[in-house]
Every structure is written in structure tokens, then in C-alpha cells.
Amino acid sequence: MFNVHLKKYDLQFMFIISAAVIFGVFMVFSSSTIKADITLGKPYLFFLKQLIWVAVGFLAMACSAFFIDYSLYKKYAKFIYAASVIAVIGVLIFGVTRGGAKRWFDLGFFTFQPSEIAKIAAIVIMADFIERKKDFLTRWDGLVAPLVFLSLIAIPIAAEPDLGIPVLIAGTYLGMLFCAGIKIQAVFALAGVGIVFIAEEIIRKPYRVARLRDYMDSFINIDAASYQVKQSLYALGSGGFFGKGLGKSEMKMMYLPEAHTDFIFPIIGEELGFIGAAAVLLFFIYFFFKGIKISKNAPDEFGSYLALGITFLVVFQAVINLSVATGVFPAKGLPLPFISFGGTSLVITMAAAGILINMSQYDVKKRS
């Protein structure tokens, strides 16, 4: 069951992912020291925390890549999903509140965000369902189960409140189901249900209404955009082609909120210019096509849709983050995968990448 012969895996893929993570460490260091010094009196706090999470992430990636065969997720799909649903419901009862949101379990020495694991659990159960009931998806009643899977996870997460992850999971589900062959009418129907859900969640929270209003007004007058988006655009625009140089950002000096988390991309653009920003875009394009290739070469349908779901999840999250940073989407807090400061999010994303690396052995076999 276990396989540790490294040559069987796509080591180039693993190296490029690792390089992106290490690049993220440098950018977290550059973007967070001033804020940490001013607000906490500990300039290297976020950087040191990131080093710890990266170490844990590499361990998680190595385990899921080399020591856990992807077929085990199929065997325990229902258990993984059920445990995740219990966790996202449980955090609403027993979790700790930060910034008005109840998303974390406090385990003493660290906090844990169950919605991050729920993202992967949702993909696992959907991949298992598609393999078993793919022909059923051509019927309208075949969409009932996917909607139930989505609702059981998305509704508790939305109640935290967190709208970003439910939208991310829903988008991933839609991509997986489309690739599985559902009718185009069903795609539009599911998208319509999603729009209604998003609209209801926006109306329910006044700050979301304000964000949407600022976003719509920004098409007429850029000064109407939210403060974060304006500062983000200033950062990106001031970097030019080559950037100001690593560590020389001005916007990170308390002008751009969340510069080391959700808005780390503008700091990359400011310090490393168009070249640095383009390198980030190329990395996610590479990740997308590599994930699609791994999906195509998977030995069974479960593996194929599992790889597809992970690929969509990571790339969709990157698209949302980059779109918010450039003013294409309304402001919404989602970290840039592999690069932003993060705890549970970074570790789970690296573990998910490890699943793709585990499955890359079949791609390597076909190439050799």
C-alpha cells in the first residue's frame, strides 16, 4: 500500500510547489515585519509562525504524497465527510470568536479551522459519488445528493460567518459535475441556486452590502472602491516592470490592511514588479495544467475526479484572491494558496498538493 520510491512521482511538480511555498515565506517576512513590530512589538512574529506552519505543511505534504495511497480516501470517504460536517457544526458551538467570526477551535497551543479540512472532505465525497453514480447525474434527481453534500457543509460555514469557502466549494462542485457530464441546463440551474444563496448571505450582512455597493460604484469612479482595493491597486501600479526591490514596499507600512495574508499579491507586485506578479500567475497556470494531466492519467474515476477537484479548488481560490486584489471581484477574504500567511489553510493546501503528487506516479509511469 505504501510506496517510497521517489522516482515514481513527479518530483519536478513537488519542487515547483515547494519553491512557491518558500517564496511565500520570504514574502510573508517582507510584508509582515512592520505591522508585527508596530502592533505587537514583535517584528518577526508572523515570519516565525509561518516557518512553523511551513514545516508542518511539508510534513503533511510528504505524508500524503509518499505514505498514504490516494485510494484510502475513497475507502473512508463517508467517514471523512461526516467528521467534517460534525466539525463545522461543532465550531459554531464550541469554537472561539475572532473579529466577529466563530471559525476556530482553540486547542491551547494552536487554533484549528475545520472549514479548511471541510473543503477537501467535500471533494472526496463528491469524487466518490461521481464514480458510483455518474450515469445518475444525467437525470435531474441525480443532483439532489450533490446539493445535500454541499448544503451540509456550506450552511454551517456560512453561519460562522464565512461566505468565501462556501462559494469556493460550490464553484469546485460545479466544475466537477460539469466534467462528469451533467446537462448544461443543470449547470445554469445550479448556478442560479448559488446566486440566490450568495444574494441572501450578502443581504443578511450590512458590511457585505457596503462592499458590493463600493464595488459597483468603482466601475464609474475608482475612488469609490473599498479602501483595501484602492491601496492594493496603488501597490500593484507603483511596482512597474521590475518592482521597487524585495523589502522596499511602502504600502506594507500600515497602508494596506492584511498585506501578509489576503493582500500579499499587491506587495509582490510592488516589490518585484510585473515580473514577480507574472511568475505567480504562471505558477497557478502550471498547477492547473499539471493537475488536469494527473486527473487524465488517474487509474480510476475516483482518482480522476479527486485530482480534478483539488486542482479546481486551489486554482479557483487563487483566481478569487487575485481578482479581489486587482478589483475584478468585490473584496472577500481568501488567502493566496501556498503563498499567504496561514495556519490550517496552508497545511491543508500543502497536504492536498501531496495527494496530487501521490497520483502523479501514474503520470510518470505513462511517460516512462
Q: Determine the Cα–Cα distance for residues 163 and 120; give it in Å rounded to an integer.
A: 17
What does the pLDDT average to over 89-108?
86
What pLDDT was estimated at residue 341? 92
In the chain, the percentage of residues whose pLDDT exceeds 70 is 95
Q: Are 267 and 251 in contact (CB under 8 A)?
A: yes
3-state secondary structure of 255: coil
Is the pLDDT at 368 greater than 50, yes or no?
Answer: no
What is the band of 58 on the pLDDT scale with cuts at 50, 70, 90? very high
What pLDDT was estimated at residue 297? 93
Which residues, 6 or more positions from 192, have their beta carbon under 8 angstroms from its beta carbon? none
Beta strands in 107-249 (DSSP E): 111-112
3-state secondary structure of 298: coil
What pLDDT was estimated at residue 46? 93
**Closest Cα partner for 338 from 45, 104, 10, 16?**
16
What does the pLDDT average to over 120-135?
93
For 174-186, how does the pLDDT look when each residue is reduced to its tens digit (9 = 90+)?
999 999 988 888 8
Name the grid cell of 307: 485530482
What pLDDT was estimated at residue 69? 92
Is the pLDDT at 4 greater than 70, yes or no?
Answer: no
What pLDDT was estimated at residue 1? 42
What pLDDT was estimated at residue 327? 83
Q: Determine the Cα–Cα distance for residues 257 and 250; give it in Å rounded to an integer.
A: 12
In the chain, the percentage of residues whose pLDDT exceeds 90 is 58
Predicted structure pTM score: 0.92
Residue 111 forms beta bridges with which residues? 106
Is the pLDDT at 161 greater than 60, yes or no?
Answer: yes
Lowest mean pLDDT among 59-68, 123-132, 178-187, 210-219: 210-219
DSSP-assigned letter for residue 70:
T
Is the pLDDT at 120 greater than 80, yes or no?
Answer: yes
For 14-39, how does the pLDDT look when each residue is reduced to its tens digit (9 = 90+)?
999 999 999 999 999 999 999 999 98
What is the band of 219 on the pLDDT scale with cuts at 50, 70, 90? low
What does the pLDDT average to over 256-265?
90
Q: Determine the Cα–Cα distance for residues 88 and 107; give it in Å rounded to an integer.
A: 15
3-state secondary structure of 334: coil
What pLDDT was estimated at residue 138? 80
What pLDDT was estimated at residue 257? 85
Length of the chain: 368
What does the pLDDT average to over 59-77?
95
Is the pLDDT at 3 greater than 60, yes or no?
Answer: no
